[in-house]
Chains A and B, each alone.
Chain A
Amino acid sequence: MISTLSRTDKEIIDIYNEYSNMIYKICYLYMKNKHDAEDMVQMTFLKLIKSNKPFVNKEHEKAFLILTASNTCKNHFATWFNKNTTMISDENKFISNNDNQNELLSLVLTLPNKYKIVIYLYYYEGYKTHEIANILNINESTIRSHLAKGRSLLKDKLKEEI
């Protein structure tokens, strides 16, 4: 009867504890505010619960969650209302002792989504470009150009700030 819910509570808790912060970071990059990001985290894990997909290894599991989180956030903005409504960004609510850090985070959040996610996966999660290409189903050369473009945009923005 519970064929669609093959994962036990313990498995779900383990996966959640391991990846919730990573998923939250990805969702936050897209949503730019805590509340929407939390909703998206919930949606992502709901999709995991509903999915009966067996994972080959930990990396596969992680890649599934990254792609699901990314697609969930993109889908959120697919509706007319969400596309045409600007939420108040609360990036400054992350209290950091270092003001520079807060400014940098604000700058990263202003980058287009396609650059943000690639920068995050490359620098923070330590994925190689071909791995990011596999996860996001995008050409590897596109990933490299997104990385370069994202970096140059960040550089430009930093110069402007200074």
Chain B
Amino acid sequence: MKNKQIVSIFDQINLNDKNKEQILTSLLSYKNKKSFNWNFKKISVCLASLLIIFCVSYGYLVNKPIKNPSSPAIMRFSKTLEYDNKSYELTVDNYDIKEVEKNKGKLLIVTSDKKEVYENKKNKKELIVRENNEYSLYTLIK
């Protein structure tokens, strides 16, 4: 097979003028429209990043990290409890669940042995402590 023959084979393959024009027109229209799309894309990426930053920071602020269990806020935890430089004493063991539902305020601290200390909404001098789904009541010692 001669080289000329091969060359003439490829010569047959040609893009016709009409289609060539059409492709060029669509390319140019895409190119000129592209800047808008690009801006839109950039803006949406910025907005999405801002939303993610907002969500992360909001989530962090709302769910403040629980105080470090080793912090001196809570010293002992048996019959007496020291929290926020005040001493509380166990007054009611197996605190009534219905009462708990009414009185349980916000979570104050979780101890290293996973006891949860809640404020008592009705009485600021009392703390509700949850351990293994059982509640007990601690009262501030005068």
| B31 in contact (CB, < 8 A) | yes
- Give how many B residues have a beta carbon under 8 Å from the other chain's beta carbons: 26
| B14 in contact (CB, < 8 A) | yes
Taking Cβ atoms with an 8 Å cutoff, the residues of A that contact B are 1-2, 4-5, 9, 12-13, 16, 20-21, 24-25, 28-29, 34, 38, 41-42, 45-46, 49-50, 94, 96, 101-102, 104-105, 108, 119-120, 123-124, 151, 154-155, 158
Question: By the criterion CB–CB under 8 Å, are B10 and A38 in contact?
Answer: no
Closest 5 CB pairs of A and B: A24-B15, A123-B6, A124-B10, A94-B12, A25-B13
- DSSP class of B's interface residues: helix, strand, loop or mixed? helix
Q: What separation, in Å, do the CA atoms of A162 and B58 have in the docked complex?
A: 79
Question: By the criterion CB–CB under 8 Å, are A46 and B1 in contact?
Answer: no
Q: A1-B39, A42-B26 are in contact. Are A151 and B13 (CB under 8 A)?
A: no
Residue of A nearest to B16 (CB): A34
CB distance from A49 to the nearest CB of B (A): 5
- DSSP class of A's interface residues: helix, strand, loop or mixed? helix
Contacts of B9 in A (CB 8 A): 101, 104-105, 108
Q: A2-B35, A20-B20, A38-B19 are in contact. Are A46 and B30 (CB under 8 A)?
A: yes
Taking Cβ atoms with an 8 Å cutoff, the residues of B that contact A are 1, 3, 5-10, 12-15, 19-20, 23-24, 26-28, 30-32, 34-35, 38-39
Q: A4-B38, A38-B15, A104-B9 are in contact. Are A20 and B23 (CB under 8 A)?
A: yes
Known pairs A9-B32, A13-B28, A101-B8 / 13 extra A-B pairs, C-beta < 8 Å:
A2-B38, A25-B10, A34-B19, A38-B15, A45-B23, A46-B30, A94-B13, A94-B14, A96-B12, A104-B5, A105-B13, A108-B6, A123-B3
Contacts of B35 in A (CB 8 A): 1-2, 5
Contacts of A50 in B (CB 8 A): 34
Q: What separation, in Å, do the CA atoms of A81 and B67 have in the docked complex?
A: 57
Question: By the criterion CB–CB under 8 Å, are A20 and B34 in contact?
Answer: no
CB distance from A125 to the nearest CB of B (A): 9
Question: By the criterion CB–CB under 8 Å, are B31 and A9 in contact?
Answer: yes
Residue of A nearest to B39 (CB): A1
CB distance from B11 to the nearest CB of A (A): 8
